[in-house]
Amino acid sequence: MLKFPIYFDNHATSPMDPRVLEAMLPYFTERFGNAASRNHKYGWEAEEAVEIARKQIADLIGASPKEIVFTSGATESDNLAIKGAAYMYREKGDHLITAVTEHKAVIDTCKRLEKEGFKVTYLPVRKDGLIDLDQLRGAITGKTTLVSIMAANNEIGVLQPIGEIGAIAKEKGILFHTDAVQAVGKVPFDVNASNVHMASLTAHKIYGPKGVGALYVRRRNPRVLLTPGIDGGGHERGMRSGTLNVPGIVGFGKAAEICRLEMASEGARIGAMRDRLNRKLHEGLDELYINGSTEHRLPGNLNISFAYVEGESLLMGINDVAVSSGSACTSASLEPSYVLKALGAGDELAHSSIRFGLGRFNTDEEVDYVVAKLVSVVSKLREMSPLYEMVKDGVDLTKVEWSAH
């Protein structure tokens, strides 16, 4: 039985796993204590639950529990990591490096720092969406203190070479932060193997609750210090004050544990479903372009441009399927996705793109329904597309003088 709308937008958020909800429920009611209350059972049991979750999350990324700092989500984690390190190490240098395809939480944080006098290099990406390691090396100066490169991209799902980036950062003696929100729980991620100093995580992308995230902050080799963004009671080793969201943290921990135990089999299953979607779309339609590397990619991601069809009309035609055109954060604007533009594929292909994000609760039956629907809608819209007609008549669209407006 299909349930509509079919949810293929797991990069935006994921439905909560019922096992996660079950773990959380007692912490809303009978175990309501404040984890910072040291004088009674309510506080002790809340603290104990938080420490269990801290270990569950640490275990997923090969960290020590003491290196996990809880936050409200990955946007806060990115802000804390980048601003916190930039301010803390300002005497050492004022230069940061990131990439043009990063999430807005990283890009806009860097832009804010630029206004405050920091210098930021935004590395371009190659056609496959990955950064060029030689360009990264070339961008590092004596004043560089931090490089922030995401582990997996939220739109095109490509996996950046974080092991190599970590090795370069270690060799040059600079800090390496990675927004690992989309990668953690989906593909193997180990902070020691990749020489990561800081990593942003969030619960709601791994079938946990919204409103809770974490920042991994390395304590050894080297010990990373951060200037806090929120002052107060000195929670979380002084890096993030504020009463802990105990039920959220418990859910985050449970979600992380499930991912650690099931990632290998789940990744294979979701990857096979994604490949089925891709294969069947190609069987039914011509002129499809996959955005980003197909080799270094999250198992659940497929980002395709349906040439000569505009993305918004395509979404309107498949309104019983929840997907996104560009990223959910920018789909209210008319600008095409800055991530797709960065690949240099041309704006019209960016306008024609759909991001599919498959997840734990999707099925082959849903894939088959979505393929049939897309083949029919794309065919209809291409019949309606002057561009498709021109191409079929042998017109080279790049040679046409368009009346820009």
Q: Give the range of 42-50, 95-103, 117-125, 344-352 binding another protein by CB under 8 A.
A: 344-352
The answer to whether 356 and 274 have CB atoms below 8 angstroms apart is: yes
Q: Which of 59, 262, 348, 368 binds another protein (CB under 8 A)?
A: 348
Q: Which of 18, 117, 142, 386 binds another protein (CB under 8 A)?
A: 386
CA atoms within 13 A on the CB side of 215: 31
How many whole angstroms separate alpha carbon 305 and alpha carbon 293?
Answer: 14
Taking the least distance from each CB to another protein, the nearer of 254 and 351 is 351
Given the residues 100, 167, 329, 375, select the one marked as catalytic: 329
x-or-dash pattern for another protein, window 178-217, by CB under 8 A?
----------------------------------------
How many whole angstroms separate alpha carbon 258 and alpha carbon 74?
Answer: 20
Q: Which of 73, 336, 357, 359 binds another protein (CB under 8 A)?
A: 336
Contact flag: residue 286 with another protein (CB under 8 A): no
Sort strands 144-148 and 213-217 into parallel, antiparallel or unpaired: unpaired
- 259 noted as active-site residue: no
What b-and-e string marks burial along 194-206, b requiring 16 or more CB atoms within 10 Å of the CB?
A: bbbbbbbbbbbbb
Q: How far is the CB of 49 from another protein (least distance, A)?
A: 41
Q: Give the range of 10-18, 115-123, 343-351, 355-363 binding another protein by CB under 8 A.
A: 343-351
Q: Which of 233, 282, 384, 392 binds another protein (CB under 8 A)?
A: 384
Residue list 117-176, contact with another protein (CB under 8 A): none
Quick one: how far is CA 364 from the chain centroid? Answer: 24
Contact flag: residue 404 with another protein (CB under 8 A): yes
Please give the single-letter amino acid code of residue 239: M
What distances in angstroms separate CA 127 from CA 66, 79, 275, 340, 355, one per listed residue? 39, 28, 21, 10, 17
Taking the least distance from each CB to another protein, the nearer of 272 and 329 is 329
Q: How far is the CB of 31 from another protein (least distance, A)?
A: 42
Please give the single-letter amino acid code of residue 265: S
Taking the least distance from each CB to another protein, the nearer of 188 and 317 is 317
x-or-dash pattern for another protein, window 292-331, by CB under 8 A?
----------------xxx-xx--xx--------------
How many whole angstroms separate alpha carbon 336 and alpha carbon 349?
Answer: 9
The answer to whether 61 and 195 have CB atoms below 8 angstroms apart is: no
Per this entry, what is the length of the chain? 405
Site size for another protein, by CB under 8 A?
Answer: 26
Residue 239 has a CB neighbour count (10 Å cut-off) of 22
- Residues facing residue 237 across a β-bridge: none
Site residues (vs another protein, CB under 8 A): 308-310, 312-313, 316-317, 332, 334, 336, 346-348, 351, 383-389, 397, 402-405
Positions annotated as catalytic residues are 329
